[in-house]
Amino acid sequence: MSEQNTTAEGLIRLSAADLAEKLRAGEVTAVEVTQAHLDRIAAVDGGERGVNAYLHVNAEEALAVAAEVDAIRAAGGAEAEALHYLAGVPIAVKDLIVTVGQPTTAGSKILEGWHSPYDATVVERLRAARMPILGKTNLDEFAMGSSTEHSAYGPTRNPWDLDRIPGGSGGGSAAAVAAFEAPLALGTDTGGSIRQPGAVTGTVGVKPTYGSVSRYGAIAMASSLDQIGPVTRTVLDSALLHQVIGGHDPRDSTSLPEPLADLVAAAKTGNVEGLRIGIIKELHGEGYQAGVENRFNESLQLLKEAGAEIVEVSCPNFQYALGAYYLIMPSEASSNLAKFDGVRYGLRVLPEEGPMTIERVMGATRAAGFGDEVKRRIILGTYALSAGYYDAYYGSAQKVRTLVQRDFEAAFAKADVLISPTAPTTAFRLGEKLDDPLAMYLNDVATIPANLAGVPGLSLPGGLADEDGLPVGIQLLAPAREDARLYRVGAVLESLLEAKWGGPLLAQAPDLAAAQALEAQEAK
């Protein structure tokens, strides 16, 4: 086993925790681990049928960081002792998060070629932990979408079926982890952009409590909803990564002041005995694919058998959550995206004719630089904030937000953790919903309430849907600041499911390299 795991093919399939152990034991070097992932990226990410999870690969810097870790470890002594547990374990970063030394595009033409002069706080923390950054991952432009098809740099493909979407907006991070192009990735979740891609790619994704992870350096879509979180293949890996990136940051006023709980310990000491797990009546059943419902019920059964008490809770105001979200999010986005005007950085487009005034340059830049979905949301948000409409739209949406928060409070009075399917369906086909924004928005119906209330959510693989053999996600929700509960319950459910499957769900995924090779053959 150990022999096989130190081959390149074996290394990329290891969890971050296993890699960390092997690195500490000296069974493998950080350079070998990093190179194995870079090789995998080279093998499966590019080309017409490539996954296209990465917008930028940061090979040179990643290898240099890995080499530093190896040198420190080889030298031994205090510095080696002080190395972070995850030192040398590589990671991919969603291209919405700014990084020095690599481009940051937000998936948009308007930032093509832009290099940030500063690192996001989470990136600083990755660097402090000496985790090599493999590159920047694809996303829907400015994180606006549920399929990664709204990226200005082409869609990402789902490693389970290259003709299907990997979810969004963080499809790149989820696909990279699912395709073994990275053991870990960072995502951002405004309405489900970490959890829904996790669900449809068979990976784990966590949206921490709002304020648990600093947003400094995450290009804002909707400030009051955005949260950075881990994208991994195991619950423990998510806890490990959350522990690296989380905790107070004086540069983010909305960052929580208190220290993080021991999330890793929570993931390692999972237990559901006597725990009340609440099924949210409004978040399953009608509108949910049969195969999704089946896997959801199966998870409930496993938890029950493990000693959890399953209760039903009702959150009647969740029916308004999607509507409120599509007023608050575009309102904040319309304001947050105003800075992209061609004056100080990024794309600048001059009007083809007529006077060269600042207004016309800004207009031409934004017309050329933003894609349709971004424009749609800017227009929606601008309208919702306009004098005379503010109360009816933004104001009402804020009231709904309060009602959703109250629903959560009532539900958490009856249950310690809530549970639902993460997304109503498995991965749909590329292009299937591109021309139907409302159908696209419905993908996030189960994930949005957590963002509106600021509570944490975790999605983990719940098995494959009977009808299409594609991954189904199970979502766990906990009260604000109780992220540890998600890891405690998630780890138990994960181990119960894996025992049932006889290994990780991703072991059942098709052999990507072989599939691509076959397709290439057929194409000839």
List, by residue number, the catalytic residues.
94, 169, 193
Of 92, 102, 94, 216, the closest CA to residue 167 belongs to: 94
Cis peptide before 2 (omega within 30 of 0): no
Indicate whether 345 belongs to the interface with another protein (CB under 8 A).
yes
Other Cβ atoms within 10 Å of 9 Cβ, number: 13
Provide the minimum distance between the beta carbon of 429 and another protein in the complex, in angstroms, as a whole number.
Answer: 32
Residue among 28 and 133 whose Cβ is closer to another protein? 133
Candidate segments 3-11, 70-78, 387-395, 429-437, binder of another protein by CB under 8 A:
387-395
Task: Candidates 16-24, 87-95, 332-340, 500-508: pick the segment binding another protein (CB under 8 A).
Answer: 332-340
Residue with Cβ nearer another protein (200 or 219): 219
Note whether 129 and 89 are within 8 A (CB): no
By CB under 8 A, name the one of 2, 7, 301, 386 that touches another protein: 386
Interface with another protein in residues 361-380 (CB under 8 A): 362
Residue 101 contacts another protein per CB under 8 A: no
CB of 220 to another protein, least distance (A): 7
Candidates 42, 290, 343, 392: give the one binding another protein (CB under 8 A): 343
Radius of gyration of the chain (CA): 22
Q: Are 88 and 134 in contact (CB under 8 A)?
A: no
Token readout for 138 is 């694809």
The DSSP-derived string for 80-127 is HHTS-TTTT--EEEETTB--TTSB--TT-GGGTT-B-SS--HHHHHHH
Out of 34, 102, 116, 156, name the contact with another protein by CB under 8 A: 116
Any residues with CB less than 8 A from the CB of 99 and at least 6 apart, and which?
Answer: 93, 116, 119, 120, 123, 133, 136
Residue span 253-272 as binding mask against another protein, x where in contact by CB under 8 A, dash where not = xx------------------
Distances (CA, A) of 400 to 91, 191, 269, 383, 394: 37, 15, 37, 19, 10
Residue 360 CB, shortest distance to another protein, in Å, is 11
Opening angle at CA 222, ends 372 and 334, nearest 5 = 50
Mind giving me the DSSP string for 56-76?
Answer: EE-HHHHHHHHHHHHHHHHH-
Q: Is 341 in the site for another protein (CB under 8 A)?
A: yes
By C-beta, is 122 or 184 nearer to another protein? 122
Interface with another protein, residue 297, by CB under 8 A: no
CA dihedral of residues 366, 371, 376, 378 (deg, nearest 10)? -40
**Which of 25, 82, 387, 514 contacts another protein by CB under 8 A?**
387
The CA distance from 384 to 396, in Å, is 10
The interface with another protein within residues 70-99 (CB under 8 A) comprises: 97-98
Is residue 137 close enough to count as binding another protein by CB under 8 A? Answer: no
Give the C-alpha distances (Å, rounded to integers) separating 273 from 153, 481, 498. 47, 21, 19
- Residue choice 30, 38, 63, 120 for contact with another protein (CB under 8 A): 120
Decide: is 400 part of the binding site for another protein (CB under 8 A).
Answer: no
Work out how close the CB of 102 gets to another protein at its nearest, in angstroms, rounded to a whole number. 14
Which H, E and C letters describe 238-307, residue by residue?
HHHHHHHHECCCCCCCCCCCCCCCCHHHHHHCCCCCCCEEEEEHHHCCCCCCHHHHHHHHHHHHHHHHCC
**In terms of CB distance, is 87 or 96 closer to another protein?**
96
Q: Tell me the per-residue interface mask from 212 to 251 with another protein, x by CB under 8 A, - otherwise.
A: ---xxxxxx-xxx-------------------------xx
Q: Is 319 in the site for another protein (CB under 8 A)?
A: no
The stretch among 108-116, 144-152, 235-243, 434-442 that binds another protein (CB under 8 A) is 108-116
Judging by beta carbons within 10 Å of its beta carbon (0-12, 13-18, 19+), is residue 484 exposed, middle or buried? buried
Binding-residue total with another protein (CB under 8 A): 44
Instruction: Please say which residue, 122 or 470, places its beta carbon nearer to another protein.
Output: 122
Instruction: Please identify which residue in 10, 18, 39, 114 interacts with another protein, judged by CB under 8 A.
Output: 114
Residue nearer to another protein on the CB measure, 89 or 378: 378
Q: Output DSSP code: residue 317.
A: G
One of 46, 390, 402, 518 touching another protein (CB under 8 A): 390
Give all strands (DSSP E) within 305-369, no chain letters: 309-313
354 binds another protein (CB under 8 A): no
Tokens representing residue 66 in the block: 């890995």
DSSP readout, 467-495? TT--EEEEEEE--TT-HHHHHHHHHHHHH
Nearer to another protein, 401 or 433 (CB): 401
Q: What is the DSSP letter of 194?
A: T
- Coil, strand or helix: which one is 457? strand
Minimum gap (Å) between residue 116 Cβ and another protein: 7
Could you list the residues that contact another protein (CB under 8 A)?
97-98, 104, 106, 111, 114, 116-118, 120, 215-220, 222-224, 250-254, 331-332, 334-335, 338-341, 343-345, 358-359, 362, 382, 385-387, 390, 394
